[in-house]
Amino acid sequence: MAQRAILTVTLNPAVDVAAEVDRVEPGPKLRLSRPRSDPGGGGINVARAIGRLGGRAQAFVALGGAMGAQLSWLLEHEGVRLHAFEAPGETRHSLSVQESETGLEYRFVLPGEVWPAGRARKALAAIEAVVRSGGVVVLSGSQPPGVSDDFPTRLARRLAGPGAMLIVDTSGAPLDRLVDVPDPGHPPKVLRMDDVEAEGVAGRRLPEPGDTADFAAALVARGVAETVVIARGADGNVLVRDGLRLHCRPPVVEVLSKVGAGDSFMGAFTLELARDADWEVALRQGTAAAAAAVTTPGTELCSLEDTERFAPGCSLERL
C-alpha cells in the first residue's frame, strides 16, 4: 500500500528492560525473572509499531556510548532503518518490573545525559537533511537535559521548507512551552497528549469527553496545533480540528501492561495519515492499536493481527 515517507525523531532514547518479580518490597534482594530488552523511546517505539502494522518508517535517534551501540543493534534486529546522531555520554536505560502477585507494574526511568550548547541546533539541521519532501515527521518522547523547551517549535519552522507534516507527542516543559507560546505561522499538524498531561495544562479536571474536546478546541483556536488528540485511557481518544470533534472508544480488553499503548496509537495513527486516510480512520486504527498494546506483557507493542481484530469494536462518535 502506498504511503508517504515517515521519519520518527527520538532525542532521549533508552534500552527498555522488562522483568517480573513475585512481590516488590523494601529490604531484601528481589530476584527478577529473565529480563527482556527492547529499544525504547517515543519515536523509536512509533517506528517499531509502524513496522509491525505493515508500514515503513525510518528513525532519527541520538545515540551515545556502549548502551547506544546496543540500542542500535536492537533496532537493526527489528529492521528499522536508523539515522544515528551522536549524543553526549551514554544512552540511558529504563526498568519495568511487574509484580506477579498483584499485576501492578513499577517503572524506573533514568535521566538522559546533558546536551551541550549548540548540539540541538546540529540535530535540527541533521533532521532537516534526511526529511523527505511531503513526508511525515513524528517528534515523540522526552527531551534530554540541555535541549531548549522550544525545540518542537523550532523543528516545525525547519520543516516548513520541505513541506513535511509534523506530529508532536511531548510532555513537561516542552509541552507547556508549545501551549503557552504558540507559533500560529508554523503550528504542528498534530499535537497529542494524554489525559493527565491535558488536565495539567488546562489546570482543571476534564471528566467527560466533551470537556476534553472543549479544551482541545481552545488549543486549536489559539494556533497551538492544527489538530489536537488527547488520550483518555480506557475511555479512548478525542480528536479535534477545525469543524471536527471526534471521540473513539475501544472495546473492553484484558489489560496486562499499559506500556507502549500511546506509542502504538501514534504508530497506527501516523501510518494511516501517511496513507492519506481520513481522520476518522486514523483515530479508529490508533485506538485499536492502543487496545492491542495493553493486552501484551511488559514493553511489547501492538500487533497487526490484534489491531485489525479490535478495530471493528472501536465506536466512533462526533461530539
Query: Which among 163, 157, 114 has a CA at the least distance from the CA of 136?
Result: 163
How many Å from the N-terminal Cα to the C-terminal Cα in the chain? 32
All three cell numbers of 146, joined, read 540541555
Is-catalytic flag, 149? no
Which helix (DSSP H) or strand (DSSP E) does residue 43 occupy? helix 42-52
All three cell numbers of 200, joined, read 495539567
Which phi and psi (to 5°) does residue 280 adopt?
-60, -45
What's the CA gap between 8 and 279, in Å, rounded?
Answer: 20
Q: Residue 97, exposed/middle/buried by CB under 10 A (0-12, 13-18, 19+)?
A: buried
What's the CA gap between 205 and 288, in Å, rounded?
Answer: 26
Which phi and psi (to 5°) does residue 93 adopt?
-135, 160
Q: Which residues pair with 86 in a beta bridge?
A: 63
Decide if 314 contacts 308 (C-beta within 8 A): no
Out of 16, 169, 194, 263, pick the active-site residue: 263
What's the CA gap between 287 and 267, in Å, rounded?
Answer: 11
Residues written for the chain:
319
Q: Which residues pair with 243 in a beta bridge?
A: none
Exposure on the CB side of residue 108, measured as CA atoms within 13 A: 7
Q: Which residues are catalytic?
A: 263
